[in-house]
Amino acid sequence: MCELLGMSANVPTDICFSFSGFLHRGGGTGPHRDGWGIAFYEEGGYREFRDPHPSVDSPIARLICEYPIKSNVVISHIRQANVGGVRLANTHPFTREMWGRPWCYAHNGQLSDWQTLPLGVYTPVGNTDSEHAFCWIMGELRSAFPTPPAAPEALWEMLHALCEQLRGQGVFNLLLSDGVYLYSYCSTKLAHITRRAPFGEAELSDAEMTVNFIEHTTPNDIVSVIATEPLTQNEAWQRMEPGELLVWREGEINARYCPTPKPA
């Protein structure tokens, strides 16, 4: 299966440290050799890099490690292909526009009967279950909310219900953002950590690299990282519960939706 990496921060922050460990899982310490991608929301704009080659050998991935792009929201993905060939069109993250905003999405897992999900205004470019599910989610949200809802909680509740439906069709771990909120949904595996003052040292699990965050932050910084598996070996990551949706903004959890109770 694939792996996910996300970041939500209250100040523009680079993800060089976390991504340096993450990219090694794309064909180095992990089997995810079938492409990778990363997206940054920065100053009202959107920047994206995708590559159908293994991240561990990718010159573009090395550029990301060495070029500290400052962002409040980041979504990244390394792929182990299950559905759809290894090509750029099938490489995450995927992007669609809604309400004049770029919505970015990455998925880890595999779905059954995904072709039965009805599509509307959004259609896939590639041929993966992941992108099809994304187009279905976006179509359902846009149909229910032609304009941004006055109360975002209504959208969050519907998003959780849609994710729960997809969890019933297989494995569906998700990262999704509109540049303001970052949504993380756990079907099987997602973990997160929030770093704030007092900052300390962190040591990567997949690369020989240690950073002392106190040298790169201010006392007011809040940075949360979400990943399929913890990226550091000396920090206490929290694992999400299957069926749980977290809504992040500026490094903090704004809302939490718990698994839907199953009928007795």
Instruction: Please provide the DSSP assignment of 120-141 as one string.
Output: -S---SS--HHHHHHHHHHHHH
**Nearest-CA neighbor of 155 among 173, 134, 136, 140?**
140
pLDDT of residue 21: 82
Three-state DSSP class for 182?
A: strand
Q: What is the rounded average pLDDT of the residues 77-105?
A: 89
Name which CATH class applies to 3-257. Answer: alpha beta
Residue 135 catalytic? no
Percentage with pLDDT > 70 across the chain: 95
Tokens representing 206 are: 């997949």
- Record the pTM: 0.95
CB 84 within 8 A of CB 127: yes
pLDDT of residue 25: 78
Catalytic residue selected from 2, 104, 163, 186: 2
pLDDT by residue (tens digit) across 195-225? 999 988 899 988 878 888 888 888 999 999 9
pLDDT of residue 175: 98
pLDDT of residue 217: 86
Q: What is the rounded average pLDDT of the residues 76-96?
A: 85
